[in-house]
Amino acid sequence: MNRAWTMLLALVTGSALADEAQVHLKDGPGKALVEANCSMCHSLDYIPMNSPFLDRKGWEASVTKMIKAMGAPIREQDVGAIVDYLNANYGKR
Amino acid sequence: MNTDRRSFLVSASRLALAGALPIAARADSSQLGPSTLPEGTLESARLAVLPGKVSLIKKTWRPPNFETPVEYFRHAFTPNDAFFVRYHLAQIPEVSAQTWQLRIGGDALDKAQTLTLAQLRGEFEPVEINAVCMCSGNRRGLFVPHVPGVEWGYGAMGNARWKGARLKDVLGRAGVQKSAVEIAFDGADGPVLDKTPDFVKSLPIWKAMDENTLLAYEMNGEPLPHWNGYPVRVVVPGWTATYWMKHLTSIQALSAPFKGFWMSTAYRIPKGIFPVVDRFLTQETETNTPITEMVVNSLILTPTSGSQLRAGDTPEVAGVAWDGGAGIVSVDVSPDGGQSWHAAELGDDLGRFSWRQWRYRVPAVRPGSMEIMARATNRVGSSQTAQLLPNPAGYHHNVMQRVSVTVS
């Protein structure tokens, strides 16, 4: 993508940003970290949509993919708490 | 074919009214997809409206992933404002047709150049083709066990009449060299973070030069909707929609395989397990290969699961069937869970890349429960599978449906 060119164009993200505020994740330790990190690039409904069928290893693989493949700037010391939250609240039952 | 297309359409509109969708965001869960989707998928789905679209099934807000309610598939062509929306990355500019330019380049091209929309429309022969556009992961949510990704039900697809210039004509004018092995495509949408791989896809040169591969600027007789790639998208009839680059901005003729994440890692299937014909040899590894054409498939639109019939009714089973371009030759319907099969009547042949409507009237039904199935077969003898062919990314789900109805 040509960034300079894209800068000239209006962004149409407004409506989706307003609507995604409807997504409320379950309360639990690590929720704030998950919200802050995951919502940098995507709405949080990706999490409940992918539940409840991933075990801890599955959620770990998803977080690792976001860091390694998608370049998410998640601090290494936060990864454990993020995976714990996802597994505890949206993990396989 | 001896089919009255009009009666297909009339019965379709009547059914569409019966299944009319409310405006409200909260919906009966059956309107949000089949009950076999993951619990969290159904809970987080909503009926919601993107600008310019009717109410669709929201899977994710950002990037927007919205599925078409299957009622719309009762039309031969899926209305533009009901056509599904799928993005990987959340930076989605609204492209101006006035300033849009297509850059054509690459190391295997004689002469880099740019085209305006007026040039693309005016200087190349316009071609129209009917073709199914289907996300590779359509029906991913029906995988058992579930696999992660956008948990689509049946609606990440649609059938449309596409109009545009042949890619081969555009490439021909620019002069593709013999060394070209792939043509790569980029669109105006991109990632939020610089480190996230931009969504860039490539086609093998033979598919890019296929006379059916288009740079489309119209869909069903109108400009493409913003959410479906305005002003120009690639149309690759027969192949899954991952190659149908939206908001196209750049085409590159390459003498070496393109190595980006969305080619090398994503959109891959294990080798050897699917009955696909088209191969993408420059991208194959020992174990996997890029997804190519759609496998033969069908969708039962009526009756819907859970319908109540009365003894003596003669319900019509109807739906659509499609494949990767060989063309559908038959659809068989079983009203008894696969014990007996009966040939359905096929609707008009709208071209080998279009889906084909079909219907079968079941003789007077008796009280009890019925399990209705459908099985499409294409011109090269491929048919649908009875058992899921598991693969990590959840592609090519063409397991025969089982629609349960009760007769009182």
CA–CA separation, A48 and B44 (whole Å)? 6
Question: How many CB atoms neighbour CB B246 within 10 A?
Answer: 24
Collect all residues of chain A within an 8 Å Cβ-Cβ radius of residue B59: 45, 49
Per-residue burial over B194-222, b = 16 or more CB atoms within 10 Å of its CB, e = otherwise:
eebbbbbbbbbbebbbbebbbbbbbbbee
* pLDDT at residue B15 greater than cutoff 60: no
Residue A4 touches chain B, beta carbons under 8 Å: no
Residue B351 banded pLDDT, cuts 50, 70, 90: very high
Per-residue tokens: B69: 């309610």
Rg (CA), chain A: 15
Say if the Cβ atoms of B93 and A45 lie within 8 Å.
no
* pLDDT at residue A1 greater than cutoff 80: no
Q: For the segment B265-276, what is each residue's pLDDT rounded down to a tens digit?
A: 999 999 999 999
User: In CATH, which of 1.10.730.10, 3.30.70.580, 1.10.760.10, 3.10.20.600 is domain A3-90?
Assistant: 1.10.760.10
Q: The whole model's pTM is what?
A: 0.92
Task: Write out B350-365 in H/E/C secondary structure.
Answer: CCCCCCEEEEEECCCC
Q: For the segment B375-390, what is each residue's pLDDT rounded down to a tens digit?
A: 999 999 999 999 999 9
Domain ranges of chain B: 5-86, 87-408
Q: How many CA atoms lie within 13 A of B229 on its CB side?
A: 25
* pLDDT at residue A5 greater than cutoff 50: no
* pLDDT at residue A9 greater than cutoff 90: no
Q: Tell me how close the Cα of A3 comes to any Cα of chain B, in angstroms.
A: 9
Surface-to-core class of residue B10, CB atoms within 10 Å of its CB (0-12 exposed, 13-18 middle, 19+ buried)? exposed
Per-residue tokens: B325: 């371009």
Q: For the segment B262-320, what is each residue's pLDDT rounded down to a tens digit?
A: 999 999 999 999 999 999 999 999 999 999 999 999 999 999 999 999 999 999 999 99
Which H helix or E strand runs over A60?
Answer: helix A56-68
Q: Which of B117, B113, B160, B360 is nearest to B247 (CA)?
A: B117
Which residue in chain A is spatially nearest to B103 when comparing CA positions?
A2
Per-residue tokens: B289: 């290969």
Average pLDDT, chain B: 94
Residue A35 touches chain B, beta carbons under 8 Å: no
> What pLDDT score was predicted for residue B326?
98
Scan residues 55-94 of B and list those with Cβ closer than 8 Å to A. Answer: 58-64, 90-94
CA–CA separation, B354 and B406 (whole Å)? 33
Per-residue tokens: B117: 């929309």
Q: For the segment B116-148, what is each residue's pLDDT rounded down to a tens digit?
A: 999 999 999 999 999 999 999 999 999 999 999
Q: Which of B44, B92, B94, B249 has the most A C-beta neighbours within 10 Å, making it the best mutation to test the interface with A?
A: B44
Residue B246 touches chain A, beta carbons under 8 Å: no
Q: What value does the mean pLDDT take over residues B202-226?
A: 98
Nearest neighbour of B94 by CB, restricted to A2, A12, A46: A12
CA–CA separation, B285 and B271 (whole Å)? 9
Residue A93 banded pLDDT, cuts 50, 70, 90: confident
Nearest neighbour of B60 by CB, restricted to A1, A40, A49: A49
Collect all residues of chain B within an 8 Å Cβ-Cβ radius of residue A71: 191, 193-197
Residue B190 touches chain A, beta carbons under 8 Å: yes
Class of domain B87-408: alpha beta
Say if the Cβ atoms of B148 and A62 lie within 8 Å.
yes
Which residue in chain B is spatially nearest to A52 when comparing CA positions?
B40
* pLDDT at residue B246 greater than cutoff 60: yes
Residue A32 touches chain B, beta carbons under 8 Å: no
Collect all residues of chain B within an 8 Å Cβ-Cβ radius of residue A42: 60, 62-63, 90
* pLDDT at residue B2 greater than cutoff 60: no
Q: Which of B201, B209, B339, B323 is nearest to B274 (CA)?
A: B323
Question: For chain B, how far is it from start to end, CA to CA, in angstroms?
Answer: 35
Residue A7 banded pLDDT, cuts 50, 70, 90: very low
> What pLDDT score was predicted for residue B249?
98
Q: What value does the mean pLDDT take over residues A37-45?
A: 97
